[in-house]
Protein backbone atom coordinates (compact mmCIF):
# COMPACT_ATOMS: atom_id res chain seq x y z
CA UNK A 1 0.00 0.00 0.00
CA UNK A 2 1.34 3.42 -0.95
CA UNK A 3 1.55 5.90 1.92
CA UNK A 4 0.94 9.49 0.90
CA UNK A 5 3.49 11.91 2.33
CA UNK A 6 2.17 14.76 4.45
CA UNK A 7 2.65 18.00 2.60
CA UNK A 8 2.16 21.73 2.98
CA UNK A 9 1.69 23.44 6.33
CA UNK A 10 0.70 20.17 8.02
CA UNK A 11 3.95 18.48 7.01
CA UNK A 12 5.99 21.51 7.96
CA UNK A 13 4.46 21.64 11.45
CA UNK A 14 4.72 17.87 11.88
CA UNK A 15 8.48 17.85 11.30
CA UNK A 16 9.18 20.94 13.41
CA UNK A 17 7.20 19.56 16.35
CA UNK A 18 8.87 16.15 16.01
CA UNK A 19 12.34 17.70 16.11
CA UNK A 20 11.45 19.71 19.22
CA UNK A 21 10.17 16.56 20.94
CA UNK A 22 13.34 14.70 19.94
CA UNK A 23 15.42 17.44 21.53
CA UNK A 24 13.42 17.22 24.77
CA UNK A 25 13.89 13.45 24.76
CA UNK A 26 17.63 13.71 24.15
CA UNK A 27 17.34 11.89 20.80
CA UNK A 28 18.99 14.84 19.03
CA UNK A 29 22.10 16.60 20.31
CA UNK A 30 23.77 19.96 19.60
CA UNK A 31 25.79 19.90 16.41
CA UNK A 32 23.91 16.92 14.97
CA UNK A 33 23.29 17.19 11.23
CA UNK A 34 19.75 17.19 9.89
CA UNK A 35 19.34 15.96 6.33
CA UNK A 36 16.18 17.01 4.51
CA UNK A 37 15.56 13.71 2.75
CA UNK A 38 16.24 11.71 5.90
CA UNK A 39 13.73 13.83 7.81
CA UNK A 40 11.19 13.47 5.02
CA UNK A 41 11.55 9.68 5.08
CA UNK A 42 11.53 9.45 8.87
CA UNK A 43 8.46 11.59 9.42
CA UNK A 44 6.51 10.76 6.28
CA UNK A 45 6.47 14.24 4.76
CA UNK A 46 7.62 15.76 1.50
CA UNK A 47 11.19 17.00 1.22
CA UNK A 48 9.86 20.52 0.74
CA UNK A 49 7.96 20.29 4.05
CA UNK A 50 11.16 19.14 5.77
CA UNK A 51 13.05 22.08 4.25
CA UNK A 52 10.41 24.57 5.41
CA UNK A 53 10.40 23.05 8.91
CA UNK A 54 14.16 23.55 9.16
CA UNK A 55 13.71 27.18 8.12
CA UNK A 56 11.11 27.64 10.86
CA UNK A 57 13.42 26.07 13.44
CA UNK A 58 16.29 28.25 12.26
CA UNK A 59 14.11 31.32 12.82
CA UNK A 60 13.59 30.09 16.40
CA UNK A 61 17.37 29.58 16.84
CA UNK A 62 16.93 25.84 17.32
CA UNK A 63 18.60 24.89 14.03
CA UNK A 64 21.56 26.44 12.27
CA UNK A 65 21.60 26.52 8.46
CA UNK A 66 25.20 26.21 7.30
CA UNK A 67 25.92 27.32 3.71
CA UNK A 68 26.85 24.35 1.49
CA UNK A 69 26.68 22.05 4.53
CA UNK A 70 22.96 21.80 5.28
CA UNK A 71 21.36 22.06 8.71
CA UNK A 72 22.37 21.07 12.21
CA UNK A 73 21.08 21.47 15.75
CA UNK A 74 22.48 24.78 16.96
CA UNK A 75 25.18 24.63 19.63
CA UNK A 76 24.43 26.90 22.59
CA UNK A 77 27.34 28.07 24.74
CA UNK A 78 27.14 28.20 28.53
CA UNK A 79 27.21 32.01 28.42
CA UNK A 80 24.27 32.06 26.05
CA UNK A 81 22.43 29.48 28.13
CA UNK A 82 22.79 31.81 31.13
CA UNK A 83 21.35 34.71 29.16
CA UNK A 84 18.47 32.55 27.92
CA UNK A 85 17.73 31.46 31.48
CA UNK A 86 17.74 35.08 32.64
CA UNK A 87 15.08 35.82 30.03
CA UNK A 88 13.14 32.74 31.10
CA UNK A 89 13.25 33.97 34.68
CA UNK A 90 11.53 37.25 33.83
CA UNK A 91 8.77 35.46 31.94
CA UNK A 92 8.31 32.63 34.44
CA UNK A 93 8.08 35.08 37.31
CA UNK A 94 5.25 36.82 35.44
CA UNK A 95 3.51 33.50 34.87
CA UNK A 96 3.89 32.50 38.52
CA UNK A 97 2.31 35.77 39.63
CA UNK A 98 -0.58 35.34 37.21
CA UNK A 99 -1.12 31.70 38.12
CA UNK A 100 -1.30 32.56 41.82
CA UNK A 101 -4.19 34.89 41.04
CA UNK A 102 -5.98 33.01 38.26
CA UNK A 103 -5.57 29.29 38.98
CA UNK A 104 -8.80 27.42 39.70
CA UNK A 105 -9.22 25.10 42.69
CA UNK A 106 -8.78 22.04 40.47
CA UNK A 107 -5.63 23.52 38.96
CA UNK A 108 -4.20 24.23 42.39
CA UNK A 109 -4.96 20.62 43.34
CA UNK A 110 -3.08 19.46 40.23
CA UNK A 111 -0.02 21.43 41.35
CA UNK A 112 -0.19 19.83 44.80
CA UNK A 113 -0.26 16.41 43.10
CA UNK A 114 2.85 17.30 41.10
CA UNK A 115 4.55 18.34 44.33
CA UNK A 116 3.72 14.96 45.89
CA UNK A 117 5.19 13.26 42.84
CA UNK A 118 8.37 15.33 43.09
CA UNK A 119 8.83 14.36 46.74
CA UNK A 120 8.34 10.70 45.93
CA UNK A 121 10.76 10.85 43.00
CA UNK A 122 13.49 12.33 45.20
CA UNK A 123 12.85 9.78 47.94
CA UNK A 124 13.17 6.94 45.44
CA UNK A 125 16.11 8.43 43.53
CA UNK A 126 14.03 8.42 40.35
CA UNK A 127 15.95 11.16 38.54
CA UNK A 128 14.24 10.87 35.16
CA UNK A 129 10.79 10.95 36.77
CA UNK A 130 11.86 14.00 38.76
CA UNK A 131 13.08 15.73 35.59
CA UNK A 132 9.78 15.02 33.83
CA UNK A 133 7.73 16.32 36.76
CA UNK A 134 9.94 19.39 37.04
CA UNK A 135 9.18 20.26 33.44
CA UNK A 136 5.51 19.43 34.01
CA UNK A 137 5.34 21.87 36.92
CA UNK A 138 6.74 24.71 34.86
CA UNK A 139 4.35 23.89 32.00
CA UNK A 140 1.33 23.90 34.32
CA UNK A 141 2.23 27.21 35.96
CA UNK A 142 2.62 28.77 32.52
CA UNK A 143 -0.67 27.26 31.36
CA UNK A 144 -2.58 28.35 34.47
CA UNK A 145 -1.24 31.89 34.13
CA UNK A 146 -3.24 32.39 30.95
CA UNK A 147 -0.22 34.26 29.54
CA UNK A 148 -0.30 32.98 25.96
CA UNK A 149 2.38 35.38 24.71
CA UNK A 150 4.79 34.41 27.49
CA UNK A 151 4.06 30.74 26.82
CA UNK A 152 5.10 31.11 23.18
CA UNK A 153 8.33 32.88 24.08
CA UNK A 154 9.17 30.37 26.79
CA UNK A 155 8.64 27.43 24.44
CA UNK A 156 11.14 28.97 22.05
CA UNK A 157 13.67 29.68 24.82
CA UNK A 158 13.33 26.33 26.56
CA UNK A 159 14.01 24.21 23.51
CA UNK A 160 17.32 26.03 22.98
CA UNK A 161 18.66 25.02 26.40
CA UNK A 162 17.04 21.63 26.80
CA UNK A 163 20.38 19.81 26.85
CA UNK A 164 21.62 22.00 29.70
CA UNK A 165 18.40 21.41 31.61
CA UNK A 166 18.71 17.65 31.12
CA UNK A 167 22.35 17.58 32.25
CA UNK A 168 21.60 19.67 35.33
CA UNK A 169 18.69 17.43 36.27
CA UNK A 170 20.94 14.37 36.02
CA UNK A 171 23.67 15.91 38.21
CA UNK A 172 24.07 13.98 41.50
CA UNK A 173 22.25 15.73 44.33
CA UNK A 174 20.54 18.25 42.07
CA UNK A 175 16.97 16.95 42.58
CA UNK A 176 17.27 17.14 46.38
CA UNK A 177 18.73 20.64 46.05
CA UNK A 178 16.01 21.97 43.76
CA UNK A 179 13.04 20.20 45.39
CA UNK A 180 12.45 22.84 48.10
CA UNK A 181 12.57 25.57 45.44
CA UNK A 182 9.93 23.86 43.31
CA UNK A 183 7.74 23.17 46.33
CA UNK A 184 7.96 26.87 47.25
CA UNK A 185 6.55 27.77 43.84
CA UNK A 186 3.72 25.29 44.32
CA UNK A 187 2.94 26.48 47.84
CA UNK A 188 2.85 30.14 46.76
CA UNK A 189 0.60 29.55 43.74
CA UNK A 190 -1.73 27.29 45.71
CA UNK A 191 -1.94 29.93 48.46
CA UNK A 192 -2.74 32.63 45.92
CA UNK A 193 0.26 34.69 47.02
CA UNK A 194 1.50 36.44 43.87
CA UNK A 195 4.50 38.09 45.53
CA UNK A 196 5.69 34.81 47.04
CA UNK A 197 5.17 33.02 43.73
CA UNK A 198 7.26 35.66 41.96
CA UNK A 199 10.05 35.35 44.54
CA UNK A 200 9.99 31.54 44.47
CA UNK A 201 10.21 31.42 40.68
CA UNK A 202 13.06 33.93 40.73
CA UNK A 203 14.97 31.90 43.32
CA UNK A 204 14.52 28.66 41.40
CA UNK A 205 15.74 30.11 38.08
CA UNK A 206 18.64 31.85 39.84
CA UNK A 207 19.70 28.47 41.15
CA UNK A 208 19.73 27.16 37.58
CA UNK A 209 21.84 30.14 36.49
CA UNK A 210 24.30 29.54 39.34
CA UNK A 211 24.63 25.88 38.30
CA UNK A 212 25.21 26.87 34.67
CA UNK A 213 27.93 29.33 35.67
CA UNK A 214 29.57 26.66 37.79
CA UNK A 215 29.58 24.41 34.73
CA UNK A 216 31.41 27.11 32.77
Q: Residues 112-147: pLDDT tens digits? A: 999 999 999 999 999 889 988 998 999 999 999 999
Kindly report the CATH number assigned to the domain that includes residue 36: 1.10.10.10
Task: Classify the C-alpha dihedral 7-160-107-98 as positive or negative.
Answer: negative
Alpha helices in the chain (DSSP H): 8-24, 36-43, 47-59, 78-102, 105-124, 127-145, 148-160, 162-170, 174-191, 194-215
Kindly report the CATH number assigned to the domain that includes residue 110: 1.20.120.530
Task: Enumerate residue ranges in the chain where pLDDT < 50.
Answer: 1-2
Residues 97, 186 within the same domain: yes
Residues 111, 170 within the same domain: yes
Q: Do 64 and 72 contact (CB within 8 A), yes or no?
A: yes
- Domain final residue pick, 27, 48, 73: 73
Domain containing 38: what range? 8-73
Q: Do 139 and 147 contact (CB within 8 A), yes or no?
A: no
1 lies in a domain? no
153 lies in a domain? yes
- Domain final residue pick, 73, 94, 115: 73
The DSSP element (H or E) to which 69 belongs, if any, is none
Residues 21, 35 within the same domain: yes
Residues 32, 121 within the same domain: no
Considering only the C-alpha atoms of the chain, give the largest distance between any 2 of them, rounded to a whole number of Å: 60
2 lies in a domain? no
pLDDT given at position 1: 41
pLDDT given at position 5: 78
Non-local CB neighbours of 103 within 8 Å, separated by 6+ positions:
111, 144, 189, 190, 192
Q: What is the pTM of this model?
A: 0.80
Pairing of strands 63-66, 33-34: unpaired
3 lies in a domain? no
pLDDT given at position 23: 83
- pLDDT per residue as tens digits for the range 31-41: 899 999 999 99
Residues 117, 209 within the same domain: yes
Residues 64, 135 within the same domain: no
Q: Distance of CA 101 to CAs 58, 75, 115, 171, 203, Å?
A: 36, 38, 19, 34, 20
Residues 197, 136 within the same domain: yes
Residues 43, 67 within the same domain: yes
165 lies in a domain? yes
pLDDT given at position 107: 98
How many structural domains compose the chain?
2
pLDDT given at position 54: 94
- Domain final residue pick, 73, 94, 117: 73
pLDDT given at position 216: 61
94 lies in a domain? yes
Residues 99, 22 within the same domain: no
pLDDT given at position 186: 98
Amino acid sequence: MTITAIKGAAGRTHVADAIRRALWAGELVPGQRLVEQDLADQYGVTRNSAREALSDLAADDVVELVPHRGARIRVVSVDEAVQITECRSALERLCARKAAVLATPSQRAALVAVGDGLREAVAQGAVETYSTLNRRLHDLVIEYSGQVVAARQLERLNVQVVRFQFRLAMRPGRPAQSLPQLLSIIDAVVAGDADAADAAAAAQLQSVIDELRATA
